Chain A
Amino acid sequence: MALGVAIAAVVVVAAWMHLERASPEIAGDWKSWRSELHIARSDRGYAIRVVSPDGFLGGHYTGNPRGSAVTLRGPLSALCGTMAYSKEDDSLEFCGEQFARAAK
């Protein structure tokens, strides 16, 4: 029983690490119709600053990559706990808003 649990845990961790390696590079600046994301790499994932002058999204978040998504911790993470990346059109979705990379 204990051996089975240990093997399962190893499989889970290995698969998890594989997905982490597959995470897209999302660092940079992003814009939606009313908000901005400023994402920088940090020691354990991402440091994310959300600017939303006319809404409740603004604030500082930390993000941990999980495959195509980033698990968030920050002011609204109870409601909006993940940020999803779409490889197809190189966009991010956060709390119902779609973000495209900001022109440099």
Chain B
Amino acid sequence: MIVFSLRARTRTRSLLLAAACATLASACDRDRGSVSTQTFPTVPKAACQSGDHPETALQGQVPSTLRRPEAFGGFNCNLRMVAQLRGEGAGWQHAFFTDAAGHACSYFDTAPVANGRTHRGVVVVDTTDPAAPQPTAYLATSAMLDPRETLKVNATRGLLMAVESVGGRTPPKVDIYDIATDCRSPRLLSPSENAPAALHKGAERADEGDFSPDGLTYYATSLRSGTVYPIDISDPRHPAVLAKWSMPTNQRTSGLAIGHDGSRAYFTLYGEGSASPNAQVVGGATNGLVVADVSDAQARKPHPQVKTLGALVWGDGSASHQLIPVSIAGRPFVIATDEGGSGDSNASGWKAACAAGLPAWSMARIVDVTDEAQPRVAAELKLEVNDARNCDQVLPDLAGLSGFTYGSHYCSVDDTSNATLLACGYFESGIRLFDIRDPAAPREIAYFVPPSVTIPSPGSLNNTTAAKGRPDHCSAQSRFDRKASVLITTCQDNGLLVLGWDTRTLARMTPTTQSGRPR
């Protein structure tokens, strides 16, 4: 589009700009808005206890020597397995809820395949006694058969919801369940299978989504089309699309989160990292997040609009995937988790990232959103495997593989209103627990990398390569149960895992001063 006659001038301008930036770097950074180019150190490693099985190579690494059938028995450090419900395996994510009677429940998706399955769909597990998790139901309505990453719980109203994904119809089916009455036996509220399509024109098959905190609106996103559509679920029997918002041209979005009063939203920019060939074409990285005002939808104004307030882009990751608004020591932050590294998610992409000195595999970040117009990265949850200086040591582990390997997917905090602990699933690096009380200097305090399985789980999304000794994929959110001192999560072949910590050990790992700040 830009005319050829301007090219030479543009090149001249770029050179002049580069020369000027060399001496006036801060001014140029301001002109570019919030583009994070800062580099961060790796997270200090957890100090393990006697009896643990610590990692034998780099932080986060399962070396190639252990990637053989029956060779990898797992690693653990300050987290031990209390209970397991392997079932038929697990999918991308995990939601959870405690009902008024005190029953604690977990919900997790499984692969949409039918072969070898007894119970397809979303598994409902009673975790009231974390040492003895019991499956109580299997939800196999249309949206629950393949919810992808739309499976979410709203605690305010006690709702479980998913939007039909890959295999669905257009407009898609929405399944909304009551879990407030008895979380162990979800009750379908939305229209039944035989009713007309639940959503009117404008809705698309969804990939991600989340509730407003009041549980009256669900925001679904379509990764394919780069659209977001808020759904009015005030009456779960008649869900209705309120609007359809498009990301900028050629941009996509995946995960999102709505702030506590329902007016503020954080949307992922599911974009390219600096080492991707596509980033070179479009002139730089496009991965990050958008802060937006969604009060029109919250207030049910006619023709509601989304108003962008600010954005942040970083080049050392791609496929921005999940956002969690939290308060840390009274200050607002967003935990931002990518699902792609700085290059493409294949061998050539990893090599390109390594050559550029950038992380080849994804990680989480802590983003300061005190100034909504100018968010900034406060820290990265970068493991040693993410450090480009270690690429020569790490790349041989992944020979013949592509897609998700080492890298983050979903994180969870102990308390969004006062976050101190962060647990993240790093696919083949397992579940990692971090102390984030100092958001500028997070520390790893524990990890659990589950053993490889010898017989793949039929409902696992990792089942095609697991039998060859590949590490399991831990991709889901985790529930903190501080009373029972356990973390409940899922990994794809190992199913639901209850991981316990020793409270005295954890206290030693997270020493505090009288002010509550880390030492």
**Which residues between 272 and 306 of chain B lie within 8 Å of chain A, taking CB atoms?**
286, 288, 290, 292, 303, 305-306
Partner of B20, one of A12, A34, A84, A86: A12
CA distance A27 to B313 in the complex (A): 29
Q: How far is the CB of B457 from chain A (nearest CB, A)?
A: 39
* B-side interface mostly: mixed
Residue A54 interfacial (CB < 8 Å): yes
Q: How far is the CB of A96 from chain B (nearest CB, A)?
A: 3
Q: Which residue of B lies closest to A68 (CB)?
A: B6
**Which residues between 1 and 47 of chain B lie within 8 Å of chain A, taking CB atoms?**
1-3, 5-6, 9-10, 12-13, 16-17, 19-20, 23, 30-35
Q: How far is the CB of A26 from chain B (nearest CB, A)?
A: 14
Take A55-B246, A55-B248, A56-B248 as given contacts and tell me if A12 and B19 are in contact as well, using a CB distance cutoff of 8 Å. Answer: yes
A68:B2 contact, CB within 8 angstroms: yes
Q: How far is the CB of B392 from chain A (nearest CB, A)?
A: 33
Q: How far is the CB of B22 from chain A (nearest CB, A)?
A: 10
CA distance A97 to B247 in the complex (A): 11
Cβ–Cβ < 8 Å partners of A98 in chain B = 1
Residue B311 interfacial (CB < 8 Å): yes
Q: How far is the CB of A23 from chain B (nearest CB, A)?
A: 11
Take A81-B31, A81-B32, A87-B5 as given contacts and tell me if A76 and B249 are in contact as well, using a CB distance cutoff of 8 Å. Answer: no
CA distance A77 to B310 in the complex (A): 8
Number of interface residues of B (CB under 8 A): 47
Interface centre among B6, B267, B307 (most CB of A within 10 A): B6
Take A56-B248, A56-B290 as given contacts and tell me if A9 and B308 are in contact as well, using a CB distance cutoff of 8 Å. Answer: no
A76:B16 contact, CB within 8 angstroms: no
A79:B1 contact, CB within 8 angstroms: no
CB 8 Å contact bits of A67-84 with B (1 = contact, 0 = none): 111011111111111001
Take A64-B31, A95-B248 as given contacts and tell me if A58 and B311 are in contact as well, using a CB distance cutoff of 8 Å. Answer: no
Residue A29 interfacial (CB < 8 Å): no
CB 8 Å contact bits of B208-220 with A (1 = contact, 0 = none): 0000000000000
Interface footprint category on A: 35 or more
Q: Which residue of B lies closest to A55 (CB)?
A: B246
B288:A56 contact, CB within 8 angstroms: no
CA distance A55 to B290 in the complex (A): 12
Q: Which residue of A lies closest to B250 (CB)?
A: A96
Take A68-B2, A96-B250 as given contacts and tell me if A75 and B32 are in contact as well, using a CB distance cutoff of 8 Å. Answer: no
Residue A100 interfacial (CB < 8 Å): no
Take A56-B245, A93-B2, A96-B249 as given contacts and tell me if A15 and B310 are in contact as well, using a CB distance cutoff of 8 Å. Answer: no
Q: Which residue of B lies closest to A96 (CB)?
A: B249
CB 8 Å contact bits of A38-63 with B (1 = contact, 0 = none): 00000000000000011111110000
Interface centre among A15, A75, A77 (most CB of B within 10 A): A75
Partner of B1, one of A5, A54, A86: A86
CA distance A77 to B292 in the complex (A): 14
B12:A15 contact, CB within 8 angstroms: yes
Residue B309 interfacial (CB < 8 Å): yes
Partner of A77, one of B13, B32, B271, B305: B32
A78:B1 contact, CB within 8 angstroms: no
Cβ–Cβ < 8 Å partners of A73 in chain B = 30-31, 33
Q: Which residue of B lies closest to A34 (CB)?
A: B246
Q: How far is the CB of B516 from chain A (nearest CB, A)?
A: 33
A87:B308 contact, CB within 8 angstroms: no
Cβ–Cβ < 8 Å partners of A80 in chain B = 248
Cβ–Cβ < 8 Å partners of B312 in chain A = 78
Cβ–Cβ < 8 Å partners of A86 in chain B = 1-3, 6
B31:A71 contact, CB within 8 angstroms: yes
Q: How far is the CB of B7 from chain A (nearest CB, A)?
A: 10
Cβ–Cβ < 8 Å partners of A102 in chain B = none
Cβ–Cβ < 8 Å partners of B251 in chain A = 79, 96
A16:B20 contact, CB within 8 angstroms: yes
Residue B391 interfacial (CB < 8 Å): no
Residue B243 interfacial (CB < 8 Å): yes
Partner of B305, one of A58, A79, A91: A58
Residue A7 interfacial (CB < 8 Å): no
Residue A25 interfacial (CB < 8 Å): no
A78:B311 contact, CB within 8 angstroms: yes
A-B contact list, 11 entries, CB within 8 Å: A12-B20, A53-B303, A54-B246, A58-B308, A67-B9, A76-B311, A78-B35, A78-B288, A88-B3, A93-B1, A97-B248
Q: Which residues of B contact A (CB under 8 A)?
A: 1-3, 5-6, 9-10, 12-13, 16-17, 19-20, 23, 30-35, 243-251, 267, 269, 271, 286, 288, 290, 292, 303, 305-313, 373
New A-B pairs, 8, CB < 8 Å, besides A57-B308, A66-B13, A86-B1: A12-B19, A16-B16, A55-B248, A56-B308, A58-B307, A58-B308, A88-B5, A95-B248
